[in-house]
Structure 1
Amino acid sequence: MLQRVALLLLLLASSRAFAVETMRIAMDDPGDEVRVSGRGLGFGPDAEDATFVAVTAGQATVRRRNGKLEVNGAPFIGDAIRFRGGLEATDAGGPGNEPLKAGSAQVRGDVVVRLFKNSLQLINVIPLEDYLAAVLGSEMPVSFPLEALKAQAVAARTYALQKKLDAYGAAFHMGSSVLHQVYGGVNREDAKTRAAVEATRGEVLTYDLAPIEAYFHASCGGRTESGQDALQRNLPYLQPVDCPCGKLPASRWSATLSEAELRGALKAPPGGLRVTGRTPTHRVTRVTMSDGSAVDGVSFRRKLGYTRLKSLDFDVEASGKNYVFTGRGFGHGAGLCQWGAKALADQGKTYREILSHYYPGAEFQQLY
């Protein structure tokens, strides 16, 4: 734990030196070629203090050829190229503020193209607060109350910083998919998401002085799950709590699957399928088939599909040659419940009250 606190202090010292905390976000792999474009585009080595060379017409094509990098047909020495926009900007916040297009994505900050395995990899080096504005627009409906969005901003900032500490020294800190936090670039920003981020700028949740693992999900169905049961993370601030989302229509779902679909997904005869294990919050831990074989709840949901079985809080009944699943919630159920945050905000709760409810025992810290 002391090592994590020391790393946190080091990161904060570095962020103050460069005036901003940044994240390195891995984007989609583009294959052997990618085009990067933007106003005032320049390129250089992958370093914060790099010297950038202007690119003619603000557009560059990077190719992997014989295991090395090329920029617009010319060889580049090194295994990673960093692009920055706005090198000629005088009224848009200076270099790095101009959005870049890399492949199909449009992002703020810098774009790194590096050799990775047998192809190329894109990494967005972006100020943390800019990153969060896009994450909020990807993870939570912007129509939600501002206090709910502010709660999500603090949770997402904490989660990102904790992942950065875990990945300290690595080429990137996080991915851009649901495996971490969904990040859709500039197109996912909104005036409300920026307002929520700015209102909570630099604020994180800690436990024993270290950033918490601030997991969140769409809907818990009425009661959140423990970190141990949901994620195999036995953490004191991830404990089951009651949630008002259970009264919302958005927390209810159903799915009908045929025996053939189940057989194909499970590779086992599903006849007589029944739930044989649950957590204290009613989430499924074990499903047993007619031949006595069993599968754990997490694997069962993954095999049938997360969009079909939206959570593990479900009941199942046979109906002819089909099985009907009726469930509550959407996601793993641990930590902040987004629809619950909306309901609490509608009741007049502040973002700090919301976060204290879902992460009991965590403390607020102003890092910058």
Structure 2
Amino acid sequence: MLRPVALVLLLLAPLRAFAVETLRIAIEDADGDVRVSGKGLAFGADTEDASFTAIPSGQATIRRRGAKLEVNGAPVVGDSVRFRAGAGATDDAGIPGDEPLKAGTAQVRGDVVVRTYRDGLQLINVIPLEDYLAAVLGSEMPVSFPPEALKAQAVAARTYALQKKLEAYSNAFHLGSSVLHQVYGGVNREDPRTRAAVEATRGQVLTYELAPIEAYFHASCGGRTESGLDALQRDLPYLQPVECPCGKLPASRWKATISDAEVKSALRHPAQGLRVSGRTSTRRVTRVTLGDGASMDGVELRRRLGYTRLKSLDFEVERTDHGYVFSGRGYGHGAGLCQWGAKALADGGRGYREILSHYYPGAELQQLY
């Protein structure tokens, strides 16, 4: 049963009067000029009620001059400027058209803000949440996954984004576009299947004690998810270890062969003698002892050796003549929704509500808008 929740409505600001929830996503930093283009391009101040001035050429070059900005060689007021495509064009309902913008290397929906940032410029995409989610799903989960798995991912991604927005509400942006938050690839990552999953779950979020949860997710847990405390130093009641069917899938297994020279260079310690010296209750590595007797935590080991080589901390390590073979299970930190597990559950007939309740025990699915 979905129940309405008004907890965060007062904090959720629309992009335009007709839109619902929006986010500000940092999509690119630039040292030099930035180019923005789009059909019906216009620019204005970075406010919700700004007046926009058309750029007939449909193209703009933004340069930084000290602490100020220029658009096509003309100075603008303030340290930021906002661009919108489709200015003046409306659909049959009188709503402005949904023309995408090309901004730097990205093509996105919504508006783009260019602002001074450090010694250069930063691009921020101001986008309706549901449009953002359609691109996140295409970036974070294979679009070939079953519809119920895609719906579960849509709810998790929406919840994660709203929780991050509340956490960073007064900041210039709410999330980045990389794996440090949620991967967001813009228009090119949208797909009819991701849009269908987003639309089918529109406005639905996971809550705990009436607040959006920290809805972490990962690719594969290897057979058992990890607690939020052990994976992320987040001791949360809905991020607890649960059994997962992904452990039976070939996609959950991996091996990495790393030479002594690579280990020594990455860890800055003698390579010989590396061994596991601590694990969590789910067998994920918490600490290793190095060749010279020093120790390092598992998270730092994975960061230094590379996230794509050491795909998770659920591994065994074997010494060879010239290095090590790491044999592991899973891909990612292991907390929250397991994407390959969600696929397996959906293939077995589970609906997205059941999938979400399995991976976030104790969380409630509610209708926010």
TM-score range relative to shorter protein: over 0.9
- The percent identity for this pair of structures is 77
Task: State the match for 1:353 in structure 2.
Answer: 354
Q: How many angstroms does 1:292 deviate by? A: 1.3
1:16 deviates by 9.7
Compute the TM-score of the two structures, normalised by the length of structure 1: 0.96
Whole-angstrom CA distance in 1 between matches of 2:163 and 2:72:
38
Q: Is the 8 A contact 2:206 2:363 kept in 1?
A: yes
Separation in structure 1 between the aligned mates of residue 62 and residue 180 of structure 2, nearest angstrom: 28
Q: CA deviation at 1:18?
A: 5.1
- C-alpha change, 1:14 and 1:188, in structure 2 (3 Å) is closer
Alignment of 1:261-340 (within 5 A): 261-340=262-341
Partner in structure 1 of residue 103 of structure 2: 102
Residues in 2 aligned to 1:209 and 1:15: alpha-carbon distance in whole angstroms: 25
CA distance in 2, matches of 1:249, 1:157: 29
* Residue in 1 that maps onto 2:47: 47
Match of 2:162, SS state, is: helix
1:2-34 CA distance string (max 9 Å, x none): xxx997231247689653100000011122311
Shift of 1:117: 1.1
Q: Distance in 2 between matches of 1:339 and 1:159?
A: 19
Question: Which shifted more, 317-326 or 119-128?
Answer: 317-326
CA distance in 2, matches of 1:14, 1:261: 50
Kindly provide the CA deviation profile for residues 132-186 of structure 1, in whole angstroms up to 9, marking residues without a partner as x.
0000000000000000000000000000000000001110000000000000000
Q: 1:225 maps to which residue?
A: 226
Which residue number corresponds to residue 163 of structure 2? 162
CA-to-aligned-CA distance 1:169-211 (integer Å, 9 cap, x gap): 1100000000000000000000000000000000000000000
Summarize the alignment of residues 30-41 of structure 1 with structure 2, pairs less than 5 Å apart.
30-41=30-41
Q: Is the 8 A contact 2:19 2:128 kept in 1?
A: no
Question: Secondary structure of 1:254's match?
Answer: strand
- Aligned pair in 2 of structure 1 residues 63, 16: CA closer, same or farther (>3 Å)? closer
Counterpart secondary structure, 1:241: coil
Unaligned runs of 5+ in 2: none
Cα RMSD between the aligned structures?
Answer: 1.6
Secondary structure at 2:28 match in 1: coil
Q: Which runs of 5 or more residues in structure 1 are unaligned?
A: none
Task: State the secondary structure of the residue aligned to 2:30.
Answer: coil
Please give the alpha-carbon distance, in whole angstroms, between the structure 1 residues aligned to 2:283 and 2:185.
34
Q: Distance in 1 between matches of 2:58 and 2:7?
A: 38
- AA of the residue aligned to 2:75: P
CA distance in 1, matches of 2:351, 2:333: 24
1:272 Cα deviation after fit: 1.5
Partner of 2:29, secondary structure, is coil
Question: 1:292 aligns to what SS in structure 2?
Answer: coil
Q: 1:119 to 1:15 in 2, by over 3 A?
A: closer
Name the structure 2 match of 1:237: 238
Q: Is the 8 A contact 2:226 2:334 kept in 1?
A: yes
Q: Measure how far apart 1:273 and its partner are.
A: 1.1
d(CA) in 2 for partners of 1:13 and 1:61? 29
Q: 1:68-110, CA deviations, whole angstroms, 9 ceiling, x for partnerless residues?
A: 1000000001111000111132338743621000011000000
Instruction: State the secondary structure of the residue aligned to 1:27.
Output: strand
Q: Call closer, same or farther: CA 1:15–1:124 in 2, change over 3 Å.
A: closer
Distance 1:200 1:7, change over 3 A: closer
Match of 2:64 in 1: 64
Aligned partner of residue 220 in structure 2, secondary structure: coil
CA contact (8 A) 2:6 2:368 kept: no
Structure 1 range deviating more: 94-103 or 309-318: 94-103
**Greater share of residues in helix:** 1
2:61/2:72 contact within 8 Å kept:
yes
Letter in 2 for 1:75: P
Give the drift of 1:319. 1.1
Paired letter, 1:109:
G
Matches of 2:22 and 2:120, distance apart in 1: 25
For 2:66, the aligned partner's letter is: N
